[in-house]
Amino acid sequence: MLRIIVKEGENIDRALKRYKRKYRNVKVLQELRDRKQYVKPSVLRRAEIKKAAYKEQLFKEE
């Protein structure tokens, strides 16, 4: 559970922004989306290899 302590005199919008940032960093939403559908380990591995190859290609172009 995320806890955001609102400091004395702090704007509520600022505290809400900190909460949203923490929520995004713990990747709760991403994990929920991943668990919606089962993906075989071999498919995950294939996607990781494809992503790595794409990143390597981008670095070579620079």
Q: What is the pLDDT of residues 5-20, one digit of tens each?
A: 998 999 999 999 999 9
> Can you give the pTM of this predicted structure?
0.53
Do 2 and 26 meet the contact criterion of CB atoms below 8 Å apart? yes
Domain boundaries, the chain: 12-61
Supply the pLDDT for residue 13: 94
Look-up: residue for tokens 């794409």? 54
pLDDT at 1 over 80: no
Residues 6+ apart with CB under 8 A from 31: none
Average pLDDT value for residue range 52-57: 96
What is the rounded distance in angstroms from the CA atom of residue 51 to the CA atom of residue 45? 10
Q: Which long-range contacts (CB under 8 A, 24 or more apart) does 23-31 make?
A: 26/2
The per-residue pLDDT of the chain, averaged, comes to 92
Supply the pLDDT for residue 2: 83
